C-alpha cells in the first residue's frame, strides 16, 4: 500500500520539530552552564569585597533590582528587532555571547583580575541576556509553529521546564560537585566551556525559526509595547490584566528563603532539598501537564484551571506552614506553572491582527512579569516581617491567593470577550 504524499502542513510540522529539538537542547546547555556558577559566585564576590557579607547582600539585591529595570528596556527592543528584518537569531547569538563572557568575568574575578564592580556589571549583563534569550526563544517558538498555534503552549512549556526546571536541578548540583573537587576555578572553566559550546551551537546548529515563512511586521515604538496590550481589544486587554495579576505572586521569591530559615529552621541542606523538590515539580508539570490540559480543555480553559489551582495552593500556604502540607499545596498548584506558556499561545489568538507581532507580544508579557516582581517583592517581604511575629507568617501567600483569583477572573472575562467576537 502506497504512503500518502506529504502535505505542506506535514513539512511545516517536521521543520518546526527539527528546529525545536535543536533550540531546546542549546537552551538547556546554556541554562546548565550558567547555573553551575550559582554555588560559587557569592563566595567569589565575598572575597572580592574583603569578606563583607552585608555588602554581598547589597550587591545581590542590586542585581535583582537593576537587572529587572534593564529588562524592561531591553526586552521590548529585542522583540521589535526580532519582528523586523534582522530576525531573532542575531539576538540569540548575542545573548549566548554575553552569557559566555559573564562566565569569563567570574573566573577572572576569582583570579583577582577583576574587581567587585566589574564582576557585578558583567554578571548583571549576563542575567539580562539570560532573560532576553528566553523571551526571544519564546517568540521563535511562535514563529516555528505559526502554521499550528495549538502546539505553541506545549513547546513553550518544554522550554520552560528544561531551562527553569532541569537547569535549576542539574546546574547548581554540578557546580557544587565540581567546586568541592577543583574549587571555583574548575567551576568557572566548566561554565566557560559550556557557554562557548552553547554560543557555537546557537550560531551554527540553530536556524532562524520559520525561515522563509515568517511574516515581518511593522516595527512600532518598543518602549510602549506593554501598554499596547491594553488597547488591542477586550480579549487581549483582559489577558494582559490576568498576566499582571499572576505576576504579582512572583514577588513571593523574596519571602521563600527567610520563610524556610525562620519558620522551618532549614539549614543549607534543607534549602538545597527544597530547591530540588520545587525544580523537579516545575519541570514535571511543564513537561507532563501543559500539553494534555490544553488538548482537553483548550488553551483558555487550561489557563483558568491553572489560575484556580494557583489560588488553592496559596490559600493552603497562607494558613498551613508545615513542610508536608505546603508540599501538598505545591502539587495542587502545579497546573498553574504552565500559565506563561499558555498565555503565549492565547496572545496570538486574542490579537486582532491576522499577523500579530510575535516578538512584541512575547516581550510585552515578559515585561508585565518583571513589573509584577518589582511591584510586589518588597511589599510581600514587608508582610512577612509583619506577620511572622504575630503568628501569621503566611500573610504574603494570602495576598498571592487574592492576586491569583483576580487573574482567574480576568482570564474568564477574556475568554468571554473572545467568544463574543468570534
Domains of the chain, start order = 12-211 (1.20.1250.20), 221-422 (1.20.1250.20)
3-state secondary structure of 394: coil
pLDDT at position 312: 97
Closest alpha carbon to 253 in 400, 141, 419, 410? 400
3-state secondary structure of 207: coil
pLDDT at position 53: 64
pLDDT at position 259: 83
Provide the grid cell at 411: 482570564
Residue 349 and residue 149: Cα distance in Å, rounded? Answer: 8
pTM > 0.85: no
Q: Which residues does 26 contact at the CB level (< 8 Å), separation at least 6?
A: 96, 198, 201, 202, 205, 206
pLDDT at position 228: 87
Sign of CA dihedral 147, 150, 153, 158: negative
- For the chain (length 422 residues), average pLDDT per consecutive 10? 50 82 87 83 78 68 75 84 86 91 89 83 83 85 83 82 73 84 90 93 85 59 82 93 93 81 75 75 83 92 96 95 91 90 91 85 88 85 89 93 97 94 76
Angle at 323 between CA 317 and CA 328, to 5 degrees: 60
Given a contact cutoff of 8 angstroms between Cβ atoms, the answer to whether 38 and 130 are in contact is no
Amino acid at each position: 500500500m502506497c504512503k500518502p504524499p506529504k502535505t505542506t502542513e506535514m513539512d511545516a510540522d517536521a521543520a518546526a520539530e527539527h528546529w525545536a529539538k535543536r533550540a531546546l537542547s542549546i537552551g538547556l546547555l546554556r541554562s546548565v552552564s550558567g547555573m553551575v556558577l550559582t554555588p560559587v559566585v557569592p563566595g567569589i564576590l565575598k572575597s572580592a569585597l574583603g569578606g563583607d557579607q552585608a555588602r554581598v547582600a547589597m550587591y545581590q539585591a542590586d542585581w535583582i533590582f537593576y537587572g529587572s529595570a534593564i529588562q524592561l528596556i531591553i526586552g521590548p527592543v529585542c522583540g521589535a528587532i526580532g519582528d523586523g528584518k534582522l530576525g531573532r537569531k542575531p539576538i540569540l547569538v548575542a545573548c549566548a555571547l554575553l552569557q559566555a563572557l559573564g562566565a569569563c568575568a567570574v573566573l577572572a574575578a576569582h583570579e583577582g583580575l577583576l574587581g567587585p564592580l566589574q564582576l557585578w556589571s558583567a554578571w548583571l549583563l549576563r542575567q539580562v541576556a539570560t532573560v532576553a534569550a528566553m523571551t526571544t526563544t519564546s517568540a521563535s517558538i511562535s514563529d516555528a509553529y505559526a502554521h499550528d498555534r495549538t502546539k505553541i503552549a506545549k513547546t513553550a512549556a518544554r522550554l520552560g521546564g528544561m531551562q527553569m526546571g532541569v537547569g535549576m536541578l542539574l546546574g547548581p548540583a554540578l557546580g557544587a560537585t565540581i567546586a568541592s573537587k577543583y574549587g571555583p576555578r574548575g567551576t568557572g572553566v566548566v561554565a566557560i566551556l559550556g557557554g562557548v559550546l552553547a554560543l557555537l551551537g546557537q550560531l551554527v546548529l540553530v536556524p532562524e525559526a520559520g525561515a522563509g515563512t515568517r511574516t515581518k511586521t511593522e516595527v512600532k515604538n518598543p518602549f510602549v509595547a506593554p501598554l499596547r496590550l491594553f488597547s488591542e481589544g477586550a480579549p487581549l486587554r483582559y489577558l494582559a490584566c490576568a498576566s499582571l495579576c499572576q505576576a504579582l505572586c512572583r514577588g513571593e521569591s523574596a519571602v521563600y528563603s527567610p520563610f524556610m530559615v525562620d519558620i522551618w529552621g532549614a539549614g543549607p541542606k534543607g534549602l538545597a532539598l527544597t530547591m530540588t523538590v520545587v525544580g523537579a515539580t516545575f519541570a514535571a508539570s511543564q513537561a507532563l501537564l501543559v500539553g494534555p490540559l490544553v488538548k482537553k480543555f483548550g488553551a483558555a480553559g487550561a489557563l483558568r484551571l491553572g489560575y484556580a489551582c494557583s489560588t488553592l495552593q496559596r490559600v493552603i500556604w497562607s494558613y498551613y506552614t508545615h513542610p508536608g502540607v505546603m508540599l501538598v499545596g505545591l502539587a495542587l498548584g502545579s497546573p498553574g506553572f504552565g500559565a506563561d506558556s499558555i498565555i503565549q499561545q492565547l496572545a496570538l489568538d486574542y490579537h486582532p491582527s491576522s499577523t500579530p507581532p510575535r516578538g512584541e507580544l512575547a516581550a510585552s508579557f515578559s515585561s508585565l512579569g518583571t513589573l509584577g516582581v518589582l511591584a510586589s517583592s518588597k511589599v510581600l517581604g514587608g508582610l512577612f516581617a509583619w506577620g511572622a511575629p504575630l503568628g501569621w507568617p503566611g500573610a504574603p501567600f494570602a495576598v498571592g491567593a487574592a492576586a491569583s483569583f483576580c487573574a482567574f477572573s480576568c482570564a474568564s472575562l477574556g475568554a468571554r470577550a473572545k467568544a463574543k467576537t468570534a
